Amino acid sequence: MASSRKTWSLTEHLLSSQEQLYKSATQHPFLLAGAEGRLPKDVLSRWLANDRLYIHSYIRAAGQLLASIDLPKQVTGSQEALETQLADWIIEALVAIRKEERFFIDVANRYNLGIEICLPFPPAAAAAQDVLRGEKLPGLIQMESIFSAVGNPSRTSSDSPSKVPGVALAQSLFTTTAAGTSPPTNLPWLEGALTFWGTERCYLDAWSWARAKAEERRSSGEQAEENDADGGALRKEFIPNWSSTEFAHFVDKLGKLIDDAVAGVLEGKEGEAKEQTKQDILGRVEGKWRTLLEAERQFWPDV
């Protein structure tokens, strides 16, 4: 008889629940232009500068999630505990993403790309943040809001700048619980873990799709690769880095941890009790999943 841990996968359910939105988030014209060597340096530079700021929000959110995890008090079984495994994954992610920011800077220097969101002149102090915010991609603003709510059950939508589209919704959806209430008894870290898995899985699938398109271009011989508009930065550096087997294993590790944790909660339950528990979990994460995909879709610049 098959194990109950194989009967239902939360991550597979989420991936199939918003197929069109997921496709638009991972098969964007920006990615196609990059794969086909048509992406100008200024457009790539804008995205790269935004992605570097995304890294900073990612680091802060990782710290918040680490701080919220209740690690095992007893030694026996502590290293196999899901909370310990999650902490290990987050630490691994922090090491990797710091390495990635250094990689960004190195590639930007070698290919003469911009990597900072700069103001053209010193604005008045009161308007400085508004001008800087205007340079950010909508997806970055939403992701910063989503990450700010990770591990912060008291964070509410009222903390968000109301004039930024999507931010209030993102923060309210990604707050684990409403202010003044207790975290969920089952897997209180689930929403935070899904935030990291979701954004990493989108990244992996987006750049894997770009890699496939680049390989199609190479096999067709439509355009000489030395004529890439970005000088070859995407083809030689970024696409291979973000579609690698190592990155796929890293993403899958967290996905498996999440699915195993959910399966453990469902284990031993039957009938209505099992279905109710499943629906409770879905009620916590399905809206958040859609919000994350919206942010991912809007992270790509128009081309």
pLDDT higher than threshold 70 for residue 177: no
How large is the average pLDDT for residues 284-297? 97
Domains of the chain from N-terminus onward: 4-297 (1.20.910.10)
Give 184's pLDDT tier (boundaries 50, 70, 90): low
User: What is the per-residue pLDDT across 127-168, written as a single tens digit (0 to 9) for each?
Assistant: 444 333 447 999 999 999 999 999 875 443 333 433 444 444
Q: Output the CA torsion 210→215→216→219 (10° steps).
A: 160
Give 221's pLDDT tier (boundaries 50, 70, 90): low
pLDDT higher than threshold 70 for residue 63: yes
How large is the average pLDDT for residues 119-129? 43
Give pTM, 2 decimals.
0.84
Mean per-residue pLDDT over the chain, rounded: 85
Give 186's pLDDT tier (boundaries 50, 70, 90): confident
Give 120's pLDDT tier (boundaries 50, 70, 90): very low
Give 103's pLDDT tier (boundaries 50, 70, 90): very high
